[in-house]
Amino acid sequence: MSAKARHPRDVPALRAALARLRLPGGQGGAVARARALLDVYLETAEAHGESFEATARALRAGVPAIRLGGAELSAQTSQPGNPAESAACAPGCAWCCVLSGPDGGVILEAEARRVHAALAPLTGQPDGREWMDDACPALDPDTRMCRIYEARPMICRTYLSDDAEACRAIAHGTPASGPGVLGAQSVYLAAHSLARAALKGLAQVPTYALAKVAAEALAGSDEEAALKAARHKPKVLEDERARMGGSL
Ligand code: SF4
Ligand code: SF4
C-alpha cells in the first residue's frame, strides 16, 4: 500500500486516524481531552451529513479547535474557585497585550480572518505600537482598550493574572510569576495539532501571528495578503504547545 492510500478520504476514516495519532511532546491530559472532543465534533459533522471536504476545511481553519477551546473555557471559568475569580484583570490594564514573544501571538486561520475583518475599517488609525513597541496593533494606544474585543482570539481570552505588576514587569522584559493561561488554551492548541496530524499529506493546517495580522490590516493589506504575511512556520504550533505545559 502506498503512503498516499493511507490518507483519510471520508469522515469515518478521519475519526479512525484521530484515534491512532500520537503527538510530539507527549499525550497528556489536554491531548486526551482534545482527542475526545474532536471525535465528538467529527461524529456530529458526520451525523449532519457534512462532506469530508467541508470537514477538512473547518479543521484547517481551526473551527473545531476554537469551538472546543471556547467550551472548555466556559466550563473552566464556571467552576467555583477557578483562577479567573482572583484575577487582577481590568479594562485598560493592557500589559498582557505586549506581544514580545517571537511568534507574535499564535492564532488560527478563522481567528486571523476575524481579526482582519474587525480591524480593516480602522485602516490608517494609530495603533498599540504608539504606546509600546511590541504592543498588539489592535490596542487603542490612548485608552489601552482592545478595539476588537468581540473578535479577540483564544490566547487573549485565556491569559490572566492575579498580579498586574508582574504583567508590567514581563512587558518590560523582566521575568515574573503571576500571569498564566487557563487550561482551555492547551486543549485548543492540542485540537489544532491533532487536526494537523490527521490531515497530514492532504492539507496544510497553519497558524498565524496575531500581531502581524493586526498590523497588516491596519496598514490596509487585504485579507489574503495579511494572512500570507502572518503565516507561521509549522514548528511554531508545537513550540507553543510545549510552552503551555504549566497552564492554570
Ligand atoms: S493579564 Fe495582567 S496585564 Fe492583562 S489584564 Fe490581567 S492583570 Fe492586566
Ligand atoms: S487582540 Fe485585543 S486583547 Fe488581544 S492582544 Fe490585541 S489588543 Fe490585546
pLDDT digits (tens, 9 = 90+) for 52-101: 999 999 999 999 999 999 999 999 999 999 999 999 999 999 999 999 88
> According to the model, what pLDDT value does residue 243 have?
85
Query: Which pLDDT tens digit goes with each residue over 93-115?
Result: 999 999 988 889 999 999 999 99
Which of the residues in the chain have pLDDT under 50?
1-5
* Closest ligand 2 atom, residue 156 Cα: 4
Please list every protein residue whose CB sits less than 6 Å from any atom of ligand 1.
Answer: 87-89, 93, 95-96, 159-161, 164, 167, 179
Print burial letters for 70-104: b (CB count within 10 Å at least 16), e (below 16). Answer: bebbeebbeeeebbbeebeeeeeebbbbbbeeebb
- Ligand nearest to the backbone CA of 96: 1
The reply to whether ligand 2 has any atom less than 6 angstroms from the CB of 58 is: no
User: What is the per-residue pLDDT for 234?
Assistant: 93
Residues facing residue 106 across a β-bridge: 209
Q: Is 138 in the pocket of ligand 2 (CB under 6 A)?
A: yes
pLDDT tens string 182-191 = 999 999 999 9
Q: Is the ipTM of this complex over 0.95?
A: yes
